[in-house]
Structure 1
Amino acid sequence: MTMSVYSKAQVIPQPPIQVVKRWLRAGWRDFKANLVYSLCYGIALVLLGWVCIAGLVLSGQGWVLLPLLAGGVLVGPIATVGLYSIASGDTGPAVAKGQIALVGAILMVFALTWIRAATVMFAIVYGLRPFSGFADTLLLMINTPSGWALLISGSLIGGLFASLGFAVSAFSLPMLVDRKIDGFSAMGLSFNATTHNFRLCLCWGSAITALTLLGILTGLLGLAVVFPLLGYSTWHAYAELFHGDAK
């Protein structure tokens, strides 16, 4: 069926949990069918993450690690773009790399703005003090009332950034692999799909957050599986919403 590049997403009436499970099962099938490629892709991302963390610690910028991990949720979708052509089975012409880079740059602005906001909030609560280490700073925050206030307010503000980033990127990136469309239009259609399937996308975003957090808590090792799984699943989410292709 021929579709306009500006065709909007359909509304899926099924229970959100059922739909999300279907997307994850389809993603897991792709993962197993492309096991070596998927693991190499995931391991490469984990190694890159370790290099970035080591660079921050060695340069005395460890204080930014916590907001950076949170901000990573915003730019994480960019890391899975290379998996969409595998999930779609399309080995056709090259994707619109310039438009994908545009979306990536916008997500990076969101992430950097959030990191700056987190830095300012920490300075307001604790003042300008030398960074005493990631563990000590985290203990300071969870052992004081002001720390809990900072964690709660920071989570709320970070949640707003993450929600906006998710809304404009959740389906725009696979769309740029699938269609000849500009980045801003793709982000608009992604935002429209998210708002018209609000409960479903809330459930999908929660699943992404939970799996990503699980991967982070394993010292990033779990992300070697989580990243490819979510990349493949994201393609199937896009395909069902915009093509009606449920698997």
Structure 2
Amino acid sequence: MSAIDTGASGRMATVATLPNEAPWAWLAAGWRDLWTHPGLSIGYGLVFTAASFVILYGLVWSGIAALFLALAGGLLLLGPMLAVGLYEKSRRLAGGEHVSAGSIALVKTRSPVSLAFFGVVLLLAYFFWMRVAYLLFALFFSGTGFPPMSEFVPTLLFTTHGLGLLVVGTGVGAFFAAVVFAISVVSVPMMVSREVDTLTAVVTSIQAVVRNPAPMLLWAVLIAGIMALGVVTFFVGLAVAFPLIGHATWHAYKATVH
């Protein structure tokens, strides 16, 4: 393990060395939390699903529904902050505390200022990603314009400019996702449960990834895969996928940072 000064609390945080199969245990623990008072978790996921529908409707209304995939990728950037209530539910369950809709909707974090600042950082990253995605679409479809939603998948897979967008967009999106994953994988639940400044939480998160590359890579792949399953069901599956990942992320934090 390696120790990190958490600053405000005066306590040292240590980053553990994890077994490669650790993410499966996090998912199992998250699954148990999901089905303990399931109405709270599923309700939380339904709010996330509804918000995704609203954003998708906005894209359709604006005539840029083809940015659907960019929106889906953007969900991974905002997810760590949007799951704060799920972290709180898992924390309360582990501590034997009462869990209610109010307790997960209005979370009293130990580091509210640090968490708010980090939320702004992730929101800016999301807006930047959407802007980059729009520019990529405009670049590759400059001669034809944005295809309608009904033609988007065939255009993406069976045309030269569509394949170019798929390759470049996937690469750029993966870079954004990797950076956000590294800085947020344990930092947000850490700020929920401890008095810690944003920089220390982010450094701890990065160190957790650097110290445990194999399990963290597996965890990133599992997150992407489970969220993708939620998205391909036109966001309906996110009602389960999102809370599952949120609860499992809390257990990832507890296993990694001591």
- When the two structures are superposed, what TM-score results if normalisation uses the length of structure 2? 0.85
Cα separation, partners in 2 of 1:56 and 1:120, compared to 1, 3 Å: closer
Q: For the Cα contact (< 8 Å) 1:8–1:192, is it kept in 2?
A: no
Offset at residue 219 of structure 1 (A): 1.5
SS of residue in 2 equivalent to 1:7: strand
The alignment-based identity, stated in percent, is: 32
What amino acid maps onto 1:27 in structure 2?
A: G
The one of 190, 195, 208 equivalent to 1:175 is 190
1:71-220, aligned counterparts within 5 Å?
A: 71-89=74-92, 94-95=108-109, 96-127=111-142, 129-220=144-235
Task: List 4+ stretches of structure 1 deviating above 6 A.
Answer: none
CA distance in 2, matches of 1:9, 1:201: 13
Greater displacement, 84-93 / 51-60: 84-93
Matched, 1:9 2:15: yes
Greater displacement, 89-98 / 158-167: 89-98
Q: For the Cα contact (< 8 Å) 1:174–1:235, is it kept in 2?
A: yes
What amino acid maps onto 1:205 in structure 2?
A: A
Gaps in structure 1 of 5+ consecutive residues: none
Number of matched pairs? 238
Matched, 1:28 2:34: no
Cα separation, partners in 2 of 1:126 and 1:219, compared to 1, 3 Å: closer
Aligned to 1:230: 245
Q: For the Cα contact (< 8 Å) 1:84–1:232, is it kept in 2?
A: yes
CA distance in 1, matches of 2:174, 2:65: 22
Offset at residue 128 of structure 1 (A): 5.9
- Render the CA deviation track for 1:177-234: whole Å, top value 9, x for unaligned: 1110111221111111111111110000000000000001111111111111111110
- Render the CA deviation track for 1:75-120: whole Å, top value 9, x for unaligned: 1111111111211125699213332222122112222222222222
Gaps in structure 2 of 5+ consecutive residues: 7-11, 98-102
CA distance in 2, matches of 1:159, 1:29: 30
Offset at residue 129 of structure 1 (A): 4.6
CA distance in 1, matches of 2:139, 2:56: 25
The one of 50, 68, 74 equivalent to 2:71 is 68
**Cα RMSD after superposing both structures:** 2.0
